[in-house]
Amino acid sequence: MIVDLPSSNTSAVNKKIVELRESGGVLALGRVLTLVIVTDDGSGIEDAIEAANSASREHPCRVIVLARGQRKAAPRLDAQIRVGGDAGASEVVVLRGYGPLAAEEAGAGMVMPLLLPDAPVVAWWPSEAPAVPSQDPVGRLAQRRITDALSARNPLKAFEQRRANHVAGDTDLTWTRLTSWRALLATALDAPPHEPITGAVVAGETISPSTDLMAGWLACRLPDTKVKRSPAESGPGLVSVRLERASGPVSLVRPDGKVGSLRQPGQPDRLVALARREVRDCLAEELRRLDPDEIYGAALACVSRVARGRTPVKVPVLAGT
């Protein structure tokens, strides 16, 4: 069910939510958090809502979408409430502010009356994010702040902003996309022989914040090892990680963005599912924890210790793919 409230206000929105609840259209109990999505009014809104709806099946929540409209327009607030099949396991409130109501300060003021009582708040910027999310008016309301440097107009600039302005509670989906990579590498190194890593090379696209962050994570976890970040000859995003040991290298390679190969000395190559993760899966993972991610913060801080290689790394073709 979708209910439109043109030229409205937050008081009318709250009243309508109560009416829908009393009529049996909304199950408001059991919401574990409020997810605030901050974006500009445009085609990307539906993608963000779809990702939030998918994540809400694991984390029932109230979703508030701040869709900032034209700032030069007359002041107006158009609201929309989505419940039932149009909202997954959540209730979605879309607030389209125009004129002065499109400003960041006004957005935070519109959000506050709609927050669930005694429930944590998570802010998510699916595209462009403020340079300092923790100082943004909406960011100050949130316990967790989720950004995505890869979706910004300038991913490298956005990534540098994340590094320079990180505070506890910040996270970025470029980090969440590395979960499978980090798990596979950690599992490989847990098996014998337990030899020290003497060198590490991380290769990926020239513009790939996840590749930079993977190198930073290795530099953090292997403080006595030289870690180099190099471009890859081909392949999307993060393409390969090679860890040097005395008995032979451990390498994880994903040349096509879908299937990877884990190679270890004395063992047959293993094909592993390593497809690039969807935004909805990354968002659901981030909503599983509301405490600060210290490992992400440490990885960001260690990116400055990574050496830069200029020679492109050749990417092998996987057998059997």
Indicate the burial class of 153 (C-beta count within 10 angstroms; 0-12, 13-18, 19 or more): exposed
Mean pLDDT across 183-198: 91
| pLDDT recorded at residue 271 | 93
d(CA 206, CA 156): 10
Q: Quick one: pLDDT band at residue 26, thresholds 50, 70, 90?
A: very low
The structure tokens listed for 85 are 């099949």
Cα distance from N-terminal residue to C-terminal residue, the chain: 44
At 22, the pLDDT band (50, 70, 90 cuts) reads: confident
Does the pLDDT value for residue 28 go beyond 50? no
- Contacts of residue 140, defined as CB under 8 A and 6 or more positions apart, other chains included, come to 108, 134
The mean-pLDDT minimum among 17-31, 170-184, 224-238 falls in: 17-31
Please give the pLDDT value at position 18.
85
Return phi, psi of residue 185, to 5°: -65, -40
Give the chain's mean pLDDT. 91
Write out pLDDT tens, residues 62-81: 999 999 888 888 999 999 99
pLDDT at 169: 97
Q: pTM of the predicted model, to two decimals?
A: 0.93
> Tens of pLDDT along 122-131?
999 999 999 9
Question: 170: pLDDT confidence band, cut at 50, 70 and 90?
Answer: very high
Is the confidence at residue 146, as pLDDT, over 90? Answer: yes
